[in-house]
Structure formats: structure tokens, C-alpha cells
Homo-oligomer: A and B are copies of this chain.
């Protein structure tokens, strides 16, 4: 028999600290698979967020800089300018990318910075214990929105990927789900396309992965992916949001 699936080579052979069923683990795997398939792991440099994926460098077997909360795109910019032939990506959660890091995200897009953002949207602050995120949807509870998010009180949720897609320097913006095998496969394709965009020097690429945080949602893993498919995606529909300046040839 032939081995048809094995742990990707750019994931270190170690256990991670993520909770059971956490989407981060799957996204890690997908990115590592893409690195292997596109043969770009050897020149990849990642920026780890402050967030549950703060230890990403312990799991990915590629070069990494650990970033400060929200500054992934700025750090990635510095890296890419210094090593233009590297494949630079910033791995970020929703708090990181869409709250404290809003300015860095928007302006990396405006500059058309040739980097890739891997954006894990789980609608909550995982690392710090379930506080409200910019992407927390109305009605959803969080430790800092104990009565459930209400527009009048906690404001609306923010679709940052949509905003980024509206910006001219963004070459590629897409959203995938981390739920079923089908959606996971699609998401992997989006991740690959985002990195391809960088290889083609087309500007900023962002791929949002709508992803379960069973722990802070207070759900079992299977219930959490179901909730994504039934409720959460109503606010975050998957697909390619924008594609600009397609390469000729």
C-alpha cells in the first residue's frame, strides 16, 4: 500500500497546546501542506501572533518571528522588504488582526505589501479566555459581553476581510471555513491561491479561515463546527472576495 496521507514535513513532530477540535490546529496543517506542495517552506518566514497561535513557531518547521499583538503586518513588511524572495506570512487571530492591528492591516493592504495574511476568525479572543472580538456576532456571549453582544451596547461585528478587499493594494482576499472535509479542502485551495499571489508579486493577499474555538464558545467540537455552518457563516460567507491584477501568463 502507498502512503497517501502523512503529517506534512513543515509541521514539527510535536503535540500542540491547542484545545480539542480547535481550528488553529487544522489551519496549521493546511498551511504546512501548502508549503510542502508548493515547495516554499524553505524560504518561508512566518510572524506568530499574540493569540492562541502565539507558539506557532513551536509547531511550524519554518523560520518565524514572534510578533506583538496586532503588529503582524508591520513585522511582515519589515521582513519582506529585507528578504524580497522569501515567502512572508503573518498568522493572526481576529483580535490581533481586526482590533488592535486594524491600522497595520489596512495599511499593509493600501501599500499593496506583497505578503500573505493567514487570518483565523473564531469570533472570540481565545488566548485570553473568551473576551469579545471585533468579529463576535450579535447575540453571541463573551466574557466581556456577558449579556450577549448587542449593537447598542457593544457595537456591531466587523468584517475586516471585506474592508481589506475594498482596498486597491489588495490583490487577493478570500474566506474559507474550517468545518467539514469539503470546506477544509476548499480552504486549503484558498490558502494556496493566496501564497501563489505572493509568488506572483501581486500585492497583499489575505485568506480568512472561519474557525471553531470550542473552548470559549462553550461547545463540544462537533457542535462548534455545526454552529459555524448554521449561524456564524451568515455573517462571514465563504468565497473569494476580490482578485485583482491577475497575472498574464
Contacts and interface: CB of A to CB of B under 8 A. Distances in A.
A158 B103 contact: no
Contacts of A154: 111
Contact of A163 (B100, B113, B166): B166
A106 interface: yes
Given A156-B169, A166-B163, A107 B103 contact: no
Interface residues of A, number: 25
A42 interface: no
Interface in A125-173: 134, 151-152, 154-158, 162-163, 166-169
B166 A162 contact: yes
A112 interface: yes
A102 B112 contact: no
A106 to B, nearest CB: 5
A110 interface: yes
Contact of A155 (B100, B110, B162): B110
Copies of this chain present in the complex amount to: 2
A54 interface: no
A151 B112 contact: yes
A99 interface: yes
A133 to B, nearest CB: 11
Contacts of A158: 106-107, 110, 167
Interface in A158-210: 158, 162-163, 166-169
Pick the most buried of A99, A107, A110, A156: most chain B CB atoms within 10 A of its CB. Answer: A110
Given A110-B155, A156-B168, A156-B169, 12 more contacts: A99-B103, A100-B103, A101-B103, A102-B102, A106-B106, A107-B158, A112-B151, A151-B169, A155-B169, A158-B167, A162-B166, A163-B167
